[in-house]
Amino acid sequence: MVTHGAELLAERIAERKLSQTKAAELFDVTQSMVSRWLDGSCRPDEFKRRIIASRLGVPVEAWFTSEERTELAKADESGAVPAVCADDVAE
């Protein structure tokens, strides 16, 4: 699933005329990882999202899926803390 974060990242890379390889260097990842972020096959972890936000201005929240946004909205309304998926936890 391609998130808004992936779309914004693609726009920022294009605006700056960066190759995926150069973008990867900015985030200290491989070019194939940038490619996977852009095609929606995976998303950056929280730490990388913060780096992307600081270096290219893609908000951390832009990487959330619509389901995650819904869950966060419900949690905000109720004051509950949403469960964290083990796959989303940086190692």
Total domains in the fold of the chain: 1
Mark 27-46 as b/e (b = at least 16 C-beta within 10 Å).
bebeeebbebbbeeeebbee
Tell me if 26 is assigned to some domain. yes
Its pTM stands at 0.79
Whether 82 and 76 have beta carbons less than 8 Å apart is answered as no
- pLDDT (tens, 9 = 90+) of the chain, 91 residues, equals 889 999 999 999 999 999 999 999 999 999 999 999 999 999 999 999 999 999 999 999 999 988 888 888 888 777 766 555 545 444 4
Tell me if 35 is assigned to some domain. yes
CATH number of residue 57's parent domain:
1.10.260.40
In angstroms, the CA 30 to CA 28 distance is 7
In angstroms, the CA 23 to CA 73 distance is 32
